[in-house]
Structure 1
Amino acid sequence: MRKLLIALSMVLSPLTVAHAEVSVGIGISVPGVSIGINLPAYPRLVRVPGYPVYYSPGVNFNYFFYDGLYWVFQGDYWYASSWYNGPWERVDRDYVPLYVLRVPVRYYRQPPPYFRGWRADQPPRWGEHWGRDWEQRRTGWDQWNRRAAPTPAPLPSYQRNYSGERYPRAVEQQRSIRTERYRYQPREAVTQQHYQKNRSQGGPQDRGPGNKNDNRGPDHR
């Protein structure tokens, strides 16, 4: 009996390790969490000058948009969603896109206390705050050719049609509407995996409320 248990543990151990590697690769540690954001309507998004990132000056959160996802920094954690009101997924700091981390301090609407004294026109000192190990894993995160920054992703302005009771809360509805209305192909691995994970949920016939009558705006690809 003991030999059988040992043999089973040897067979199952690689499966457990493989599952852990997949979770780390995606970089999403806590899916579908609520972080207290409940915007009454689609927020105004303004491009950060010189960056392929947008921020929301009228929202009292550290709220950004980059590469097809909304990004929020809250409580020393990063969260991402493909819809402006969530649901949100917590993203490990090792997988947050570099251009999001590079956004200058002045564009954080609710900067944490440790931002005090840092230059407003420079990125937060993540290496100083998160430690040497993190900075070694993300060497060069604060060094880039500013003239070679990528073109920003188009804003998903179709989401203006969904607020209040019309906002799709189910991930399947969100995925279906986004697939039909937003043709952007993300460049970042974490965004690609977020999209791929959502595509694996729900059937191809799912539709959101009022989806057939929506008009596509100029921001879509």
Structure 2
Amino acid sequence: MKKSYLIIAISMTLVQGCYTAPPYQPSSHASVGIGYPDVNIGINYSTYPDLVRIPGYPVYYAPRGDSNYFFYDGLYWVFQGDNWYASSWYNGPWDRVGYYDVPAYVLRVPVRYYRQPPPYFRGWRADAPPRWGDRWGRDWEQRRSGWDRWDRGSAPAPAPLPTYQRNYSGDRYPRAVDQQHTIRSENYRYQPREPVTQQYFKPRVQQEQQRQQEQRQLEQRQQEQRQQEQRQQEQRQQEQRQQEQRQQEQRQQEQRQQEQRQQEQRQQEQRQQEQRQKEQRQKEQRQKEQRQKEQRQKEQQQEQEQLQRKAASEKQAAEKQQVERKRQAEQQQEKRQRDVRQKQKQAVEKQPAERNKRQAQTQQERQAECERQAIEQHQDPRKCQSEAQPKEQPGNRKN
């Protein structure tokens, strides 16, 4: 597919080159510029035309004519059908001159002196020469660089008009080129300056020989060009094969790189999967350890609670034992107290009545003393009666 695209692109380039190439190849010398001899371009003057010099230019033009008709350097020049034609006689025959070989002074003629300007002259300045570079392309512009720049003060003198041709009109006009050269050599001594004009004034035999030589050179150049094109085509084909080979190698390299990337990707995915599995195992291990830790903490808490309950139970039992011992001690104390009271009661019952008497006397003394103090202190002495009441003896208390 790429090969087909390349062939199409080359074909389009060649076709474009055919359309953009100039109509004539540039000549190595002026003689090649004259081609297609004896061309009939429809110029038919019955008599010698009136020619007027263009001010500041070594060029004449035909103001009363209906064509772009000029005279320069011994030749008549006509611009018609986008081509230039030249002749040594005012009514032809005409030879076509290549774009690269038209003299600069002919190209410099201002637009206003063209009696039949082509349509593309419209819009161009009348006092300036036509824009030949825009019309004939960049290659012509480069080869004829500077054609529109010149010093008007150094312009050469115009060639004399071949007025001897006034005597040759109508049936007397010479049609044979050899006859024209003979008449010109007898009546016109001007030596042209331009190479293309010099070539035109050579004898017809020399022109024909040179034309054949140029034809052989042209054929040789064409053959060399075909050979060069063949070599270029072979080189392009070789480059195309090399390019296809490089593309194939590049595709293979890209395929290998892609396979390597896929393998690396699979290895990376495998490492990631192993890493995830490892992290999962570590996570499960941590969870297991966490559960075990929580289980141990729970067991320790249960053991601690059991120990606390056991300690509380032991404490409660100890307190209960202590309460029981205390109760027993109290019971024993109370039993001893009962025993002591019983003994006291028995002792009291055995005391004589005198003791009771002394106690009563002592009681009365205390009551009197209390009343005396109460009077001195301005208190109620009746309270002394309650204080003086004999306390019930332990032996007298009922059990």
TM over 0.5: yes
- Write the distance in 1 (CA, Å) between the matches of 2:27 and 2:100: 14
- The unaligned stretches of length 5 or more in structure 1 are 1-19, 203-221
Deviations 1:89-141 (A, max 9, x none): 00001000000000000000000000000000000000111111110000000
2:108 is matched with 102
- Write the distance in 2 (CA, Å) between the matches of 1:201 and 1:99: 24
Which structure would you say has the larger RCO, counting Cα contacts within 8 Å and 6 or more residues apart?
Answer: 1
Pair 1:53 & 2:62 matched: no
Query: Which of 170, 175, 186 is equivalent to 2:192?
Result: 186
Cα drift, residue 26 of structure 1: 2.7
Equivalenced residue count is 183
**Contact 2:27/2:33 (8 A) holds in 1:** no
* 1:123 partner amino acid: P
Instruction: Report the secondary structure of 2:100's partner residue.
Output: coil
- Write the distance in 2 (CA, Å) between the matches of 1:124 and 1:79: 17
2:156 is matched with 150
Instruction: Report the secondary structure of 1:94's partner residue.
Output: helix
Query: Which of 40, 45, 50 is equivalent to 1:39?
Result: 45
2:81 is matched with 75
Instruction: Report the secondary structure of 2:99's partner residue.
Output: coil
- Write the distance in 2 (CA, Å) between the matches of 1:201 and 1:31: 11
**Contact 2:30/2:195 (8 A) holds in 1:** no
State the 4+ residue runs in structure 1 displaced beyond 3 angstroms: 20-25, 197-202
Query: Which of 121, 124, 133 is equivalent to 2:127?
Result: 121
- Write the distance in 1 (CA, Å) between the matches of 2:47 and 2:31: 33
- Write the distance in 2 (CA, Å) between the matches of 1:147 and 1:199: 39
**Contact 1:62/1:108 (8 A) holds in 2:** yes
* Structure with the bigger percentage of strand: 1
- Write the distance in 2 (CA, Å) between the matches of 1:180 and 1:24: 25
- Write the distance in 2 (CA, Å) between the matches of 1:104 and 1:190: 22
1:214 is matched with none
2:286 is matched with none
Residues 199 and 58 from structure 1, CA distance in 2 versus in 1: closer, same or farther, beyond 3 angstroms? Answer: farther
| TM-score with structure 1 setting the length | 0.79
1:9 is matched with none
* 2:54 partner amino acid: V
CA RMSD of aligned residues (A): 1.9
Pair 1:28 & 2:43 matched: no
Provide the identity percentage.
Answer: 71
Query: Which of 135, 144, 156 is equivalent to 1:138?
Result: 144
Specify the structure having the higher radius of gyration (Cα).
2
Instruction: Report the secondary structure of 2:202's partner residue.
Output: helix
* 1:185 partner amino acid: Q
